[in-house]
Each structure stands twice: as C-alpha cells, then as structure tokens.
C-alpha cells in the first residue's frame, strides 16, 4: 500500500477500498504519510466525494486510531448533543443539566470557539474556578454526582481526526461534507454515548449557509451513527439570527442561568426543550417532561451540582467588561433583520473569540441585543451594547456591524422563521 496509489484512486473518481482507508488513516496518524500527501487526498475527496460506505469506514478508521470510552457502568442511559456551531448558541449549558434532571446521563465533550462561532468551554471558563480538563475517572465521578458533565475531549479520542482537522483548516478542504461528518462522528462515537442528537445550524451565522447542504450533512451524520450502532437524529435549526439576546462568554452563561431559573429568551427556551425531548426520546425516556424540570428547579439543581463538581462556584459573580458602547436605532420602524454572522464577527473582534486555537479570549467581551427581528423600534433607542476590556476594539467591531440591522417602515409585516426547520431521522 502506498499514498500515491490511494490519492490516484480518489483523484480518478474511484472508490477507496476498506484496506486503503484503514491503511492511509493509520499511516498518516503514525507520520508515514506526509501532510502534503494527505492534503492531496483531502482535496480529491472534496472534489469527488465519498459514498456512505466509504465515509463509514473512514469514520471507523479514525475511531480506531485512539481509545473508546465506556459508560456502561452508569445506571442511567447516556445521551449527547452536538451543535455545528453558531452565534449566541449557548444551548449546551442549560440542556445538559436539564436532560440529566429527566433521568439521562449526559457526557458532553465540547470544544472552544474559533472565528465567529462561540465555544462551550470558553463560555464555562468565565465561571470562577470551573475546569474544562478532566481525566476519564473525574468525568465519571461528575456524571455520578450531577448526571451531566461538560468537558474537553482527551487526547486519546480519535487522534487521527485531530491531526487531519488541523490540516484541512490550512488546505482549503474544510468544506468536504464526508470529512466534516466523519470528523464530528468519529469523536462522538469514540466518546461512547448510547444516543446522539445533532443540532445542524443553517443560515448566515452557521457553517452551512443553505438548507440543502445542511440536510446533506445531517443525513450523512445520522447514517454514520446508525452504521456504528449509535441511535442518532438531527434537527436543522435556524441560524440567520443570533440565538437569544447575548453573544459572548460570560454574557451567555448569565442568559443560560436565566433559562434554568425558568426565564430567558423564548427562542433559547424553545430550542433547549426541542433538543431535550429528542435526547430523552433517543435515550428511551419518552415519559420525561423537560418543561416540568425547568419549572420545578430540578434542572437548576443539576447545573449547580455540575459546576461545583468541576471546581466552579455557581454563586460567584460573572466577569463584567470594563468598557461598553451602545449602538442605537438609526430610524423608527420594524427591525426586520439582524445578521447572525455580522454579530458573531463583531463579538469575536471585541475579544469574545479567537482567530487561532492558541489565542486567549476575554470572558466579559461580547454583545447584548436589546431587540430582535419583528420588534418595533424607535430612532435613538439602544439596539446593541458592545462589551470589551479593550476599547480600541470598538471601531473594528462596528465595521463588522455595518448594515447588520435592517429597519423597515412602521407597520411592515414580519414573518419569523421557525427555530426548528426539519428533523432528520435514521433510515429505519
């Protein structure tokens, strides 16, 4: 077996054999296949695709490159959620303790933000004392104590994916749907959860800008889950407008706690409950009522136990930015759009995100939204408040927001997009 023959097979629109896939993933992980050879293969896959069986085998080979976790010792069924990333997407924070309060165990391995999309671990690290890095034993202990854990994936899970992801990022091959699907699912399957719900975002603030591409990605990932024995469903959800009223780390934690306390923005509550019901159904807990767990305080109890078990103080005040800048409505009328991508880029430029994985983030940086599309606004009223510790960033953030908000004449009809656009179920 050699790298050039594997590259040529896919370059010439051929189908990779199981043996070719197993060999090239293993050899690349060990350093026998060079980066330039794997980048050529990734480009050939981007241009010529892979069928379902190829993608399933590619995923299996990446799983086999590392360890596979096992939660069979837990008394409760396990359920997990993965989001493809968006702006203001703090759903994991209230969702994990909510599903735990309904009887499932939620081992949530999460990541950090990059570019305009926020990262769950960055958000939670704004809670004083909270730790993202846990050993497998610590992860199990938190699950037993709180029913849910949100933490960073260890280096032992799908190391082939970690190496290939970094290569795709610098070779223009991130967009290859088979490689996106295999990257996400190899980590989630190696994690060992019994069921998985995918939140595939669609719109300007999402990686997938249109419904057709999002549907293809979701269908591919749901199929991969089925092929590997993990009950998987997907919801396609709207990301043309930011979720909730905040984008930024500590700001989103505060809003998540409001949801757990029985309040919070309607769109965040709606999506949290929709995903909770999917997770509970997949875990076989169809009689559980997540709305009741929000209302009676049990979800909040699990949140507090989870944060405490990971070294955090749920009662500590969250960081507040040293500087704020208010953006006002330029005219009176109906706010008809607030572009998610523009808000995400502005929050990133304020310090809430990073351009490279090594960059630090500001816990208190971000954007508060005082109105969402459909609201009547008056000229001069606050639309957005920008938060940062470094005021020299305001100008750069305001450039990103130029044209992000559109205001139509008073009385203009507005029809909001539904939060959940489609549901993708397994073949069966």
The single residue of 80, 89, 161, 227 carrying the catalytic annotation is: 161
Give CA separation, 414 vs 209, 337, 401, 418, in Å. Answer: 22, 10, 22, 13
| Active-site annotation holds for 304 | no
Candidates 10, 163, 187, 215; catalytic one: 187
- On the CB side of 17, how many CA atoms lie within 13 Å of its CA? 7
Examine the residue annotation and report whether 187 is marked as an active-site residue of this protein: yes
Q: Contact, 234 vs 217, CB < 8 A?
A: no
- Could you confirm whether 161 is annotated as catalytic? yes
For 341-379, give the DSSP string.
Answer: HHHHHHHIIIIIS-SSTT----TT-EEEES--TT-EE-T
E strands present in 69-123: 79-83, 106-110
Consecutive H or E run containing 174: none
Out of 168, 201, 231, 305, the active site residue is 168
> What span, in angstroms and rounded, lies between the C-alpha atoms of 22 and 61?
5
Concerning whether 82 is annotated as a catalytic residue, the answer is: yes
- In 134-285, which ranges are continuous DSSP H helix? 136-146, 159-169, 177-191, 211-227, 249-260, 266-282
Catalytic residue among 81, 82, 90, 305: 82
Alpha carbon distance 425, 331 (integer Å): 45
Q: Which residues contact 89 (CB under 8 A, 6 or more apart)?
A: 83, 117, 118, 199, 201, 239, 243
Structure tokens at 207: 């990686």
Q: What are phi and psi of 138, to 5 degrees?
A: -65, -40
What DSSP character marks residue 393? Answer: G
Catalytic center residues: 82, 161, 168, 183, 187
């Amino acid at each position: 077996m050699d790298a050039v023959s594997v590259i040529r097979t896919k370059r010439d629109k051929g189908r990779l054999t199981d043996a070719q896939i197993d060999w090239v993933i293993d050899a690349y992980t060990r350093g026998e296949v060079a980066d330039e050879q794997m980048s050529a293969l990734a480009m050939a896959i981007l241009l010529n695709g892979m069928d379902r069986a190829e993608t399933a085998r590619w995923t299996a080979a990446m799983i086999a490159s590392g360890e596979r976790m096992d939660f069979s010792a837990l008394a409760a069924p396990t359920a997990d959620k993965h989001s493809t990333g968006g702006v203001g997407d703090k759903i994991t924070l209230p969702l994990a303790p909510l599903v735990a309060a309904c009887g499932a165990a939620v081992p949530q391995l999460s990541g950090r933000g990059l570019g305009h999309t926020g990262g769950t671990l960055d958000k939670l690290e704004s809670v004083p004392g909270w730790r993202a890095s846990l050993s497998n034993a610590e992860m199990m202990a938190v699950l037993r104590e709180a029913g849910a854990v949100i933490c960073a994936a260890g280096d032992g899970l799908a190391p082939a994916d970690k190496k290939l992801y970094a290569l795709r990022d610098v070779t223009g091959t991130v967009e290859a749907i088979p490689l996106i699907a295999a990257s996400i699912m190899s980590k989630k399957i190696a994690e060992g959860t019994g069921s998985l719900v995918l939140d595939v975002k669609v719109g300007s603030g999402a990686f997938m800008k249109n419904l057709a591409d999002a549907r293809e990605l979701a269908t591919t990932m749901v199929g991969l889950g089925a092929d590997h024995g993990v009950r998987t469903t997907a919801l396609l959800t709207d990301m043309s407008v930011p979720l909730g009223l905040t984008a930024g780390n500590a700001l989103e934690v505060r809003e998540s706690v409001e949801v757990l306390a029985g309040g919070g923005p309607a769109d965040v509550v709606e999506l949290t409950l929709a995903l909770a019901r999917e997770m509970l159904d997949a875990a076989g807990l169809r009689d559980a009522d997540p709305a009741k767990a929000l209302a009676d305080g049990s979800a909040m109890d699990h949140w507090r136990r989870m944060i405490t078990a990971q070294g955090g103080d749920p009662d500590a005040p969250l960081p507040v930015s040293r500087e704020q800048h208010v953006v006002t409505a330029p005219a009176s009328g109906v706010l008809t759009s607030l572009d998610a991508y523009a808000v995400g880029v502005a929050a990133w430029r304020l310090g809430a995100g990073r351009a490279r994985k090594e960059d630090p983030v500001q816990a208190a940086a971000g954007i508060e939204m005082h109105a969402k599309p459909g609201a009547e606004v008056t000229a001069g009223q606050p639309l957005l408040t920008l938060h940062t510790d470094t005021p020299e960033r305001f100008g750069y953030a305001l450039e990103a927001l130029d044209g992000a908000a559109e205001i139509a004449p008073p009385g203009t009809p507005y029809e909001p997009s539904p939060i959940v656009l489609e549901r993708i179920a397994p073949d069966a």
